[in-house]
Structure 1
Amino acid sequence: MWQQEKLLLIDGFNLLSRSYFATAYNKTEDQLTRNSSGLYTNALRVFFQKMYNLIKQHGMTHIAIAWDVKREETDRRQAHDFYKANRNELPPALIQQYETLTKALDQIGMTQFVIAPHEADDIIGALSHKWSLEKEMPCFIYSNDKDLLQLLNPFTSQIMAQKRQELVYTVEHFEAEYGIQPSQWIDVKALLGDSSDNIPGCPGVGAKSALPLIQQYETIEQLFNQLDVLDTKFNRYKKKLTAGEASAFMSKELVTINRNIPEIEAVNLNELLHEVDEQVVRKTMDELELRIKL
């Protein structure tokens, strides 16, 4: 029986961090779960269980996990030293589990990508773009990062956790919610900025105005070209837009996901095919002393 090809792209640190902080809440590092070798495992169990739940629930046939390089190694940070400068250092127990996890994923045959100077978002963007063009089959991005909404298209959806359930968020969901195309999300973010990444946006232009401005003017290029004849309903933002023009364009550069990565162009998508080998998975989980359901 023919099985439709489906690609699962996991934002590695997004899932690992969420797994870690959900199980480390109100605990000191010495209260976290470890195995008999002394390795921390609290986040590992959640990561593996979620990954296999996604594979089973959605019938995923192809899988890739994208990881960030160190902050200082990213092209965005090299161009703008304030980028993500407000981020705290990761807890040692989380870093250790990242190292354990990447080795274990290699053992079970999962494809992983770390490509300097690119961030995981760029890797996911390049892979989903290539998959959409070459395969024209469903692609699912697993991440709660809304920056990735710019990647949605008729083939690409994003699986996001919402309260106690998960939503497969499609391009149709996006257009109904925001009234723009996913490609215009970068223009909204260029005005809004992103405090978690230390991206300034256009100071003074907030959520109530950024989206309506892009709904009307489509891009920040068109918006700033028409500032002199700005719709009167936006008059209160005219001075802020004028003062923040350079900041908005710089922010657009920072929030735009790069889909043109030569290393990804060279990838044979068929090599992302993954069949779960229960014996190998069980052996790897036993070595880590993790109990998960397949």
Structure 2
Amino acid sequence: MKETLLLIDGFNLLSRCYFATSYGREEVDLPRNSQGLYINALKVTLQKILQLSRQYATTHIVVAWDVKRNETKRRDIYSDYKGTRGELPDPLIQQYETLREFFDCVGVSQVSVDFYEADDVIGVFSARWSEEKEQDCFIYSNDRDLLQLLNQHVSQIIAMKRIGEIVYTADDFQHEYDISPKQWIDVKALLGDKSDNIPGVPGVGEKAALPLIQQYESIENLYKNLVHLDSTFKRYKKKLEEGEELAYLSKQLVEIETNLDILNKMSWEELRFVYDRQRWIDEIERLELNIMLPA
């Protein structure tokens, strides 16, 4: 029997739906139901999940959630990790709480793990599915850090401007970057990530990071050969020397976990998606969302 796993980066999806439907509007103008609950992002998020489940004939769904930023393993490693991010809007937080309750009621599996992020939950389940099931797994997120997880079974659904959503495969990645998805970790270790406040190596940008890894394969091998660095990269040698510690720190922060005991113990049956239309109707009516449900 063909089985398909859909892994959803919960907050990535919810926040995109929130900001798309609240753009240019004050919080006071956002739609609420008669209970006073904000609903602008809820409706779009639920419609998207139902559409994805049908489009990709998913048999298993996991919505992965982050824990609080200051409670992650990465924050312990680097105190400034995600330190530049502002506070989240109250209506977004409220809809996150409402959505979690909704999923509990309709039986959509959602997972978070203390000290780890949604990326790590996705990393573990995608790796397990590839090894144990050897069938299709789709990651739904626009977070390009997740590209490191791509393989012959795992693809990422990414929303592209003017194109719409595409299924981005490991072959697509190899063709675009001429490295393996796993080597994306090393590219990001050199580049850093402004959105997550990951330092990378100062002065080593996109023009150098990818070519360096294409030639040296990993930051470990790059630093092993730094004394005899190819003359093409001569101008970056001092920057690489000065930024070695930051490169290794950044690699720790960028690399997604793919093996956590607590998630390895979960059975696939626990994560099976069973669409109970009546339960969805009951919850949608309770929240006054006015969504047309598939039969």
TM-score (norm 2): 0.98
Quote how far apart the aligned CAs of 1:256 are: 0.3
Instruction: Encode CA deviations 1:146-175: one digit per residue, 9 max, x unaligned.
Output: 000000000000000012410000000000
Residue 135 of structure 2 corresponds to residue 137 of structure 1: yes
Quote how far apart the aligned CAs of 1:258 are: 1.0
State how far apart, in whole Å, the 1-side matches of 2:285 and 2:247 are: 51
Instruction: Encode CA deviations 1:68-111: one digit per residue, 9 max, x unaligned.
Output: 00011101112211000101010010000000000001000011
State how far apart, in whole Å, the 1-side matches of 2:130 and 2:185 are: 20
Aligned residue identity for 2:101: K
Aligned residue identity for 1:136: E
Quote how far apart the aligned CAs of 1:261 are: 1.1
TM-score (norm 1): 0.98
For the aligned residue pairs, the C-alpha RMSD in angstroms reads 0.8
1:16-95 to structure 2, matched below 5 A, reads 16-95=14-93
2:126 alignment counterpart: 128
1:251-262 to structure 2, matched below 5 A, reads 251-262=250-261
2:113 alignment counterpart: 115
2:263 alignment counterpart: 264
The total of aligned residue pairs comes to 292
SS for the counterpart of 1:196 is coil
Equivalent position to 2:155, from 154, 157, 163: 157
Residue 294 of structure 2 corresponds to residue 290 of structure 1: no
Instruction: Encode CA deviations 1:39-90: one digit per residue, 9 max, x unaligned.
Output: 0000000110000010111111100000000011101112211000101010
Residue 251 of structure 2 corresponds to residue 229 of structure 1: no
1:202 alignment counterpart: 201
1:103 alignment counterpart: 101
Aligned residue identity for 1:6: T
State how far apart, in whole Å, the 2-side matches of 1:76 and 1:280 are: 38
State how far apart, in whole Å, the 1-side matches of 2:51 and 2:37 are: 24
SS for the counterpart of 2:247 is helix
Quote how far apart the aligned CAs of 1:223 are: 0.4
SS for the counterpart of 2:195 is helix
Equivalent position to 1:147, from 121, 125, 145: 145
Aligned residue identity for 2:172: H
State how far apart, in whole Å, the 2-side matches of 1:103 and 1:222 are: 48
Contiguous gaps of at least 5 residues in structure 1: none
